[in-house]
């Protein structure tokens, strides 16, 4: 079911990891951001749009993780965009033999195994490097590209509606997940991305994370500060005082502590290697 978060901006929340698909109304149809995740959910989304007389005229994937690259045939054949770096990362991922089968096998280990359509996975059109806005006939959607979570990760700021679509950042249930494989300085890249989001914070009335609850204007800076405090704790090899991990974690989301522990271990090993070679 679509829920309005601002004029002409609606969110469809998946049962899987509170994944958020975002619909933005334009003049001739809608922009669909990160649709997913299960087939029946995307079919429901298609029904909702059809019932309201809306066609999908453009799509956008905020970054090259499988759950942000999905599509359903009933959503139509509109161009699906991503940043140049995002699209390049997708091409590389899917060029490996058996790439989709590997994703399908991974999903079989979860409660959504066999329920995610992968036929149209990752069919993304690269926008020219440095493109500042999504090319479509609707409200201006600013692309805030950075390298915080994944190559070519983009937050989207729907300026006329005051909505920040944050991709896999600014979540109330997930800690920041750094790109530990694709960047030389994942800590600084994440902090730099938070500064970019902070620059528009005063104009944001609603923030939509890739996973988690939609936040109001009063939560935008608080989420930025919480993410910054977490990343700084990682940099300083401290245990973060963060409600998303440990005993205070949301029921059912205790696995986020494992994500944190894995990141902390990898950063510690990385620091040891740098110290040995420095």
Residue 276: what pLDDT? 45
Q: Answer for the pair 175, 260: CB distance below 8 angstroms, yes or no.
A: yes
Regarding whether 160 and 277 lie in a shared domain, the answer is yes
Q: Which domain holds residue 214?
A: 140-278
Instruction: Give the domain-ending residue among 130, 155, 179.
Output: 130
Q: Residue 48: which pLDDT band, with cuts at 50, 70 and 90?
A: very high
The string of pLDDT tens digits covering residues 65-122 is: 999 999 999 999 999 999 999 999 999 999 999 999 999 999 999 999 999 999 999 9
Regarding whether 115 and 30 lie in a shared domain, the answer is yes
Residue 278: what pLDDT? 53
Contacts of 88 (CB under 8 A, 6+ apart): 126, 151, 152
Q: Answer for the pair 234, 240: CB distance below 8 angstroms, yes or no.
A: yes
Contacts of 25 (CB under 8 A, 6+ apart): 8, 9, 10, 54, 138
Positions of E strands within the chain: 2-6, 9-13, 20-25, 30-33, 56-60, 80-82, 125-126, 141-145, 154-158, 163-165, 206-208, 215-216
Instruction: Give the domain-ending residue among 93, 111, 130.
Output: 130
Q: Answer for the pair 244, 199: CB distance below 8 angstroms, yes or no.
A: no
Q: Are strands 20-25 and 30-33 parallel, antiparallel or unpaired?
A: antiparallel
* Residue 135 located in a structural domain: no
Note the pTM of the prediction, 2 decimals.
0.95
My answer on whether omega of the bond before 37 falls inside 30° of 0, hence cis, is yes
The string of pLDDT tens digits covering residues 170-212 is: 999 999 999 999 889 999 999 999 999 999 999 999 999 999 9
Regarding whether 110 and 5 lie in a shared domain, the answer is yes
Structural domain count of the chain = 2
Instruction: Give the domain-ending residue among 130, 161, 195.
Output: 130
CA angle 120, 91, 75 (to 5 degrees): 20
Six-digit token pair at 135? 């090319």
Regarding whether 171 and 114 lie in a shared domain, the answer is no
* Residue 82 located in a structural domain: yes
How many CB atoms are closer than 10 A to CB 146?
21
């Amino acid at each position: 079911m679509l829920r309005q978060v601002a004029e002409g901006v609606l969110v469809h929340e998946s049962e899987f990891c509170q994944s958020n698909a975002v619909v933005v109304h334009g003049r001739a149809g809608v922009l669909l951001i990160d649709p997913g995740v299960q087939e029946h959910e995307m079919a429901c989304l298609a029904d909702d749009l059809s019932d309201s007389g809306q066609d999908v005229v453009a799509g956008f994937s905020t970054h090259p993780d499988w759950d942000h690259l999905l599509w359903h045939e009933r959503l139509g054949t509109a161009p699906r965009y991503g940043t140049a770096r995002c699209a390049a990362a997708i091409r590389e991922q899917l060029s490996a033999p058996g790439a989709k089968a590997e994703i399908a096998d991974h999903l079989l280990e979860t409660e959504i195994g066999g329920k995610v359509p992968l036929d149209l996975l990752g069919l993304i059109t690269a926008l020219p490097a440095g493109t500042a806005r999504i090319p479509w006939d609707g409200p201006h959607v600013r692309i805030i590209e950075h390298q915080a979570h994944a190559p070519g990760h983009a937050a989207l700021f729907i300026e006329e509606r005051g909505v920040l679509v944050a991709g896999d950042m600014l979540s109330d249930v997930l800690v920041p997940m750094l790109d530990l494989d694709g960047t030389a300085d994942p800590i600084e890249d994440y902090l730099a991305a938070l500064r970019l989001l902070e620059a528009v914070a005063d104009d944001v009335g609603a923030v939509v994370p890739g996973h988690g609850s939609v936040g109001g204007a009063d939560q935008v800076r608080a989420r930025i500060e919480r993410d910054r405090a977490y990343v700084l704790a990682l940099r300083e090899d401290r245990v973060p005082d963060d409600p998303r991990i440990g005993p205070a974690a949301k029921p059912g989301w205790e696995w986020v502590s494992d994500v944190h522990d894995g990141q902390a271990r990898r950063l510690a090993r990385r620091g040891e290697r740098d110290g040995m070679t420095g």
